[in-house]
Structure 1
Amino acid sequence: MAPWPFFEEDEIKAVQKVLSSGLVNYKTGNEGALFEKEYAAAFDSQYAIAVTNGTAALELALLAIGVGKGDEVIVPARTFIATASAVVKCQATPIVADIECKSQNMSLKTIEKLITPRTKAVIPVHLAGWPVDLDPIIEIARKKDLYVIEDCAQAHGAQYNNQPTGSLGDIGCFSFCQDKIISTGGEGGMITTSNPDLYKRMWSLRDHGLGYEKANNIKPGIGFKWLVDSFATNLRMTEMQSAIGRIQLRKLTKWVAIRQKNALEFTSAIRDLPIWTEVCPPENYVHSYYKYNILLNQKALSTKWTRNRIIEELSKKGIQSRVGACPDIANEAAFQNSKIDITNPRPNAAKIADFTLMLPVHPTLTKSNMSYIADNLRNILKLASK
């Protein structure tokens, strides 16, 4: 089966060129700055900041908007733990919201009752490339004076109302980790925003607390330069990673189109089977398909079969399948052993917890790979049906 990530020759040569130059650090080379400029343009944002990973992107975003002790940030139940742990890292409290069954995303309906005077921000996660219905969330955020931080870790190339994910809220946070749609050599992340004040704060927080104006207007001359305005850390991306990212960004439109085509092939193969519920985003959405999610119909599933057995049977055929996103991050020991209140009901997250699975649709999958997966998926789902 074709692997992902897979680094093509032009990406490998770009890394070799950077290594050969010796200009491997963001401060000495220009790959990082160019990657940021090109990424901002591609995602309809004024600014972009390249960072070490998607978790760092979330942490910087939260720090920039002033999240701290006593604050609450609403996050979805169905996401990777980093969405919540970034909030805790800022000494604030993540409030876990329920999700909609079909999209597996948060919605205005699932978050509205969780907003309190302590709420500082909302983090919608565009799960597996399906955009969150953002307009209603942004509208209530404006009324309540809240920030909206988009978690776009799985949504490179997705769109909502003809706008790229990451450009709709106050800040967008992307991950380039391992098997993401863009993958910069193992780790990596990007922040997007069109707010100049937030940009300058995040720029400074990423780079040891350097004052943005001071660091970008250094006067020539001998003597120590006093540039640090606050205590921070170093979360800069390397030049090798940026070189990969720049090339992959140019391929993004083509890659997303292939992912969509592959997803449609799976849908066509199993569309007539009652064991699953076909779900499609509205016409004004562009789904970028980080993975292909399947929502099983519990009533049509044989009593001798479970979701896990389906995954096991696919695995026997050499097909990589997973359960999908974490069913509910509030069930992790990190939450259970904390003092965070997780008593608000999340019935939808619980309802679909044992009935989701995901399949790969990455662009290196060949025509024969796709046919093999689709045929076996159909056969196994038929066996698992009542």
Structure 2
Amino acid sequence: MGELALTGGEPVLGSLAPVDWPRTTDADRAAVLAVLDSNVMVSDRTSAETAVERLERSWAEYLGVRRCVGVSNGTTAIELALLAHGVGPGDDVVVPALTFVATAMAVVHVGATPVYADVDPVTFNVTADSVAAVITERTKAVVPVHLHGLSADLAPIAEVARRHGCVVIEDAAQAQGARYHGVPSGASGNTATFSLQMTKNLPTCGEGGLVVTDDERVAERIVQLRQFGETIRADRPRRYVSHRLGFNAKLNNVQAAYTASQLERFDEYHAARRANVAAFLARLAGLDGLVSPSEPDGYEHAWHILRFTVDFERHFPGVDTATARNVLMKALRAEGMPATRYQMMPLPDQPALRSLCRQEPGSWPVAQDVVDRSFTLQQRHLPPDAGPLLQSFADAVEKVWSQLKAVAELAEGAGR
């Protein structure tokens, strides 16, 4: 396959693959222009159905849930969901030790304390056992994250939470399109939150979030919380009366119109992404020491992010894991595959959260091991027409794997 690009050979791709997501079509532009032409830019207008309300109705119908509430972003969605369920100061909330920092920050922002459950080494999600290991009488909520687009094993997690009197709030920020035993992520009977940030599988033109629930009271609390605690009704003028301490956390109509337009193509995009990723992962299945992400029986992965783990002890003997991982990633990137780490550390080791953690350091060994031994390919390189690009990435991985001995020698020299 030729000399490694890292040592002067020709790369598989001439440069790192460009970022090209979301894909904005004429239909998306028309939807946004219709809002601009209407001059109804925010969601507190009551004279007619707004773009936000249309998106809320469409997403609720898509999932088969009773209510959807649009908010300013995915982090705010978690915060408002926690508050709507009465979570606050003095409460503990179980979150994964491996996820994006927003999950735990949302807990801290409502005055509660995040408690970290370790993750499964294959799915990278919390399990019923890991949740049960850290749940206490102080625990008010469990927030399983459907990391990278794969649902957590919700049924046993929900049973653990039920036995302890805790609410389950699903963080489905990365899981639009995922399914768990045939049920769409977010439609399992729990309150669930989604991000519409532009890198997500269902994006907006910037930032946005959605909260879904079958509980009308929870939905109405979130509606109040997103706008200063007010009750906005279509049958009367706005009264400017705040019934609870709320926020200014609305989704605007331009963002909602853009997402609603994207939703029209969502199933098509989802199917294409799944086919492309399946063909890509099939190419890598036989590579020794490389563990590709998988889709357990009964699950449908949304493939928002692909995380690969490597048996560095096998191929890089005597080299510390961090050095081996970094040199391997440099070799892949030199060939044009944009391998990244995504998480640099387990969530409780983030500097902003470290002082708030009551658990002993190292209480999440699997999360630490996954962070140490993995690299990722992120969603912006997995658009629905990325089939040929993913095949080029497979060429790059195969090329590097065919010369792992040379990569290991480079790593050994770098580690001295």
Task: Tell me which interval the TM-score lies in, with the shorter structure as reference length.
Answer: over 0.9
Unaligned runs of 5+ in 2: 1-16, 409-416
Secondary structure at the counterpart of residue 37 of structure 2: helix
Q: Residue 221 of structure 2 corresponds to which residue in structure 1?
A: 201
Pick one of 312, 316, 338 that aligns with 1:302.
316
2:336/2:393 contact within 8 Å kept: no
Q: Residue 392 of structure 2 corresponds to which residue in structure 1?
A: 372
How far, CA to CA, are the matches of 1:325 and 1:289 in structure 2? 17
Q: Deviations over 1:275-313 (max 9, x none)?
A: 212452322101010022212123333346722222222
How far, CA to CA, are the matches of 1:309 and 1:195 in structure 2? 50
Does residue 333 in structure 1 map to residue 347 in structure 2?
A: no
- Deviation for aligned residue 1:22: 1.1
* Greater CA drift, 277-286 or 117-126: 277-286
Q: How many residues align structurally?
A: 380
In structure 1, what residue type is equivalent to 2:394? Answer: A
Q: Residue 306 of structure 2 corresponds to which residue in structure 1?
A: 292
How far, CA to CA, are the matches of 1:35 and 1:369 in structure 2? 32
Q: TM-score, normalised by structure 2?
A: 0.86
Q: Residue 313 of structure 1 corresponds to which residue in structure 2?
A: 331
1:274/1:300 contact within 8 Å kept: no
Does residue 346 in structure 1 map to residue 341 in structure 2?
A: no
Pick one of 233, 237, 244 that aligns with 1:216.
233
Q: Residue 23 of structure 2 corresponds to which residue in structure 1?
A: 6
Secondary structure at the counterpart of residue 353 of structure 1: helix
Pick one of 117, 124, 129 that aligns with 1:109.
129
- Deviation for aligned residue 1:25: 1.2
In structure 2, what residue type is equivalent to 1:299? Answer: E
Pick one of 256, 262, 282 that aligns with 1:268.
282
How far, CA to CA, are the matches of 1:53 and 1:208 in structure 2? 16
Q: Residue 43 of structure 2 corresponds to which residue in structure 1?
A: 26
How far, CA to CA, are the matches of 1:281 and 1:270 in structure 2? 15
Q: Residue 107 of structure 2 corresponds to which residue in structure 1?
A: 87
2:343/2:371 contact within 8 Å kept: no
Q: Deviations over 1:106-144 (max 9, x none)?
A: 001111021111000000000101110010011121121
Q: Deviations over 1:255-289 (max 9, x none)?
A: 12122122212212111111212452322101010
- Deviation for aligned residue 1:339: 5.6
Secondary structure at the counterpart of residue 58 of structure 1: helix
Secondary structure at the counterpart of residue 372 of structure 2: coil
Does residue 382 in structure 1 map to residue 402 in structure 2?
A: yes
Pick one of 373, 377, 381 that aligns with 1:355.
373
Q: Residue 249 of structure 1 corresponds to which residue in structure 2?
A: 263
* Greater CA drift, 103-112 or 168-177: 168-177
2:293/2:306 contact within 8 Å kept: no
- Deviation for aligned residue 1:198: 0.7
- Deviation for aligned residue 1:194: 0.4
In structure 2, what residue type is equivalent to 1:208? Answer: F
Q: Residue 70 of structure 2 corresponds to which residue in structure 1?
A: 50
Q: Residue 71 of structure 1 corresponds to which residue in structure 2?
A: 91
2:113/2:356 contact within 8 Å kept: no
Q: Residue 140 of structure 2 corresponds to which residue in structure 1?
A: 120
Secondary structure at the counterpart of residue 150 of structure 1: strand
Q: TM-score, normalised by structure 1?
A: 0.93
* Greater CA drift, 22-31 or 298-307: 298-307
1:4/1:364 contact within 8 Å kept: no
Distance 1:342 1:232, change over 3 A: farther
In structure 2, what residue type is equivalent to 1:297? Answer: D
How far, CA to CA, are the matches of 1:384 and 1:41 in structure 2? 49
In structure 1, what residue type is equivalent to 2:164? Answer: K
Secondary structure at the counterpart of residue 28 of structure 2: helix
In structure 2, what residue type is equivalent to 1:45? Answer: V
Secondary structure at the counterpart of residue 290 of structure 2: coil
How far, CA to CA, are the matches of 1:352 and 1:30 in structure 2? 44
How far, CA to CA, are the matches of 2:402 and 2:191 in structure 1? 44
Pick one of 161, 167, 172 that aligns with 2:187.
167
Q: Residue 9 of structure 2 corresponds to which residue in structure 1?
A: none
How far, CA to CA, are the matches of 1:282 and 1:67 in structure 2? 33
Q: Residue 237 of structure 1 corresponds to which residue in structure 2?
A: 251
Q: Deviations over 1:151-209 (max 9, x none)?
A: 00110000101111111252111011121111101211110000111111111101110
1:294/1:357 contact within 8 Å kept: yes
Pick one of 340, 347, 360 that aligns with 1:322.
340
Secondary structure at the counterpart of residue 354 of structure 1: helix
Q: Residue 158 of structure 1 corresponds to which residue in structure 2?
A: 178
- Deviation for aligned residue 1:365: 4.1
Distance 1:219 1:81, change over 3 A: closer
Distance 1:170 1:52, change over 3 A: same
- Deviation for aligned residue 1:218: 4.4
Taking only the aligned residue pairs, the percentage that are identical comes to 30
Pick one of 209, 223, 242 that aligns with 1:228.
242
* Greater CA drift, 360-369 or 231-240: 360-369
